Amino acid sequence: MLSLAGCAAARPHRGQPIDPAATSYAQAWRIEGASRILFISGQTPTDGDGHAPREFAAQARLAWSNVLTQLRRADMHVADLAKVTIYLSDRRFREENTRIRAELLGSATPAITVVIAEIFEEAWLLEIDAIACS
């Protein structure tokens, strides 16, 4: 279980947004103290131009690539992932999602929640948000 007690006790925290210029919200937030905590906003299956591939596998790899980019920008690694929530637009993507996630995360074993839900943009077949700690 992830405890954020240290975060509350450390107020005012030393937080900073990661890549805030892209939109009206931060792609991620890093909080430093005795531990560093990174909150990663929902990463979509889009490239730098906002385009999404049509196939689920390509979208999943791109969304995960975007998660890993946020980790790198915060000087963190896949092993630092503590909690990941994956939103799938359709349950038929469950097995492929599990396979691709295992391939890309390797030996990292964060807590995982998979939710079947409508995604903000119809063309997106998944979205991933995460919390990392180091």
| Between 24 and 94, residue with greater pLDDT | 94
The CA-atom distances, in angstroms, between 8 and each of 33, 56, 131 are: 11, 39, 16
Sheet containing strand 81-88, edge to edge, reads 14-18, 28-32, 36-43, 126-133, 81-88, 111-116
pLDDT score of 7: 46
**Nearest residue to 108 via CA among 71, 75, 74:** 71
> What digits encode the pLDDT tens for the residues 26-80?
667 777 777 889 999 999 999 999 999 999 999 999 999 999 999 999 999 999 9
Long-range Cβ contact pairs of 5-13 (< 8 A, separation 24 or more): 6/33, 6/34, 6/35, 7/31, 7/33, 7/37, 10/34
CA distance 16 to 69: 16
CB neighbours of residue 43 within 10 Å: 22
Which class does domain 19-133 fall in? Answer: alpha beta
pLDDT score of 31: 74
Domain residue spans in the chain?
Answer: 19-133
What pTM does this model have?
0.80
